[in-house]
Amino acid sequence: MTEKTPRLRDRTALVTGASQGLGAGIARELAAQGAKVLVCSRSEENLRAMVGANPGDWWIEWEAADVTDPEAAPRLAEIARARFGRLDILVCNAAGPPPCDFADASDAQWQAAFELILLGPIRLIRACLPLLRLGGGGHILLCGSISALRPVPHLLLSNTLRPGLAGLARHLAIELAEDNVLVNAIAPGFFDTERSREVLAAAAQRRGLPLEEVAAANTARVPLRRQGDPRELGKLVAFLVSPENSYLTGRTLVIDGGMLLT
């Protein structure tokens, strides 16, 4: 029986915000499916732990970087070029800004959220496009949130800025089509991540309820009655950035266990 060729064999990828949570789940799945992956996040300690926890036959390298730093994007693109000689896949992911409502949000919080959610990916795409073009095309994947489609209570900054990622994907899908660069976004629902636990803890404190009660009510909103596993998201991303996806571009795909249907 012939062994199946890994879907992403000979592919190279850069995944940001990848030391924990959704970014780590995506990076691990891309590597498991054969890609050479460069991951980054602000925490060198978390990156070391994430890479160290992976099987030895997975190719994952790391570089500490803050995507809100204007110098981070060109540095990461150069590191990808030096280590891989090319880049086929760019996954822009970042943890969401802290929960707040309009009355509580300062100018500094708005600016920080804008740089994290929108300007960071814009800079990364600008820096990595020459590498994608050099290889004859590739895939850009913008990791957003269901807040791009339906506001989530008390997540003002995410509710306002995440829709911008969907708009960016739609525009770039048209502009970059001539370069054979496919651009898509994803809108994850509730996944079992550090970020999800922080949001639930903030909600429990705000409402004066036990964390377990708030978490149970949150899960009850999902038709599948559970949070997602980050690797489940990784499997979707692995298809979207693979050679098998040669025609789907400019879309925002929801993966939420059916929550937005209710």
Taking all residues of the chain, what is their mean pLDDT, rounded to a whole number?
A: 94
CA distance 13 to 35: 7
Radius of gyration of the chain, Cα coordinates, nearest whole angstrom: 18
pLDDT bracket for residue 58 (50, 70, 90): confident
Q: What is the pLDDT of residue 133?
A: 96
Contact predicate 112/160, CB 8 Å: no
pLDDT bracket for residue 56 (50, 70, 90): confident
Rounded to an integer, the average pLDDT of 183-208 is: 88
Q: Name the least confident of 47-56, 76-85, 113-122, 124-133.
A: 47-56
Upper half-sphere CA count for residue 222 (Cβ side, 13 Å): 17
Q: Which uninterrupted H or E stretch holds 197?
A: helix 194-207
Rounded to an integer, the average pLDDT of 148-172 is: 96
pLDDT bracket for residue 196 (50, 70, 90): confident
- Tell if the pTM clears 0.85, that is, is over it: yes
Q: Which of 247, 41, 16 is nearest to 142 (CA)?
A: 16
Q: Which uninterrupted H or E stretch holds 20?
A: none
pLDDT of 254 > 80? The answer is yes
C-alpha dist (Å) from residue 24 to 6, 18, 39, 130, 224:
19, 4, 8, 25, 23
Q: What is the pLDDT of residue 3?
A: 56
Backbone angles phi, psi at 38, to 5 degrees: -105, 120
pLDDT of 2 > 70? The answer is no
CA distance 1 to 150: 47
Angle between helix 230-240 and 21-32 (nearest 10)? 50
Report DSSP letters for 84-144, one per residue: HS---EEEE--PPPPPB-GGG--HHHHHHHHIIIIIHHHHHHHHHHHHHHHTT-EEEEEE-
Rounded to an integer, the average pLDDT of 42-69 is: 91
Q: Name the least confident of 55-64, 112-121, 227-236, 249-258.
A: 55-64
Domains of the chain, CATH where assigned: 12-189+229-255 (3.40.50.720), 194-227 (no CATH)
DSSP label of 155: B
pLDDT of 1 > 60? The answer is no
Q: What is the pLDDT of residue 116?
A: 96
Q: What is the pLDDT of residue 262?
A: 87
Exposure b/e, 2-37, CB count within 10 A at least 16 = b: eeeeebbeebbbbbbbbbbbbbbbbbbbbbbbbbbb
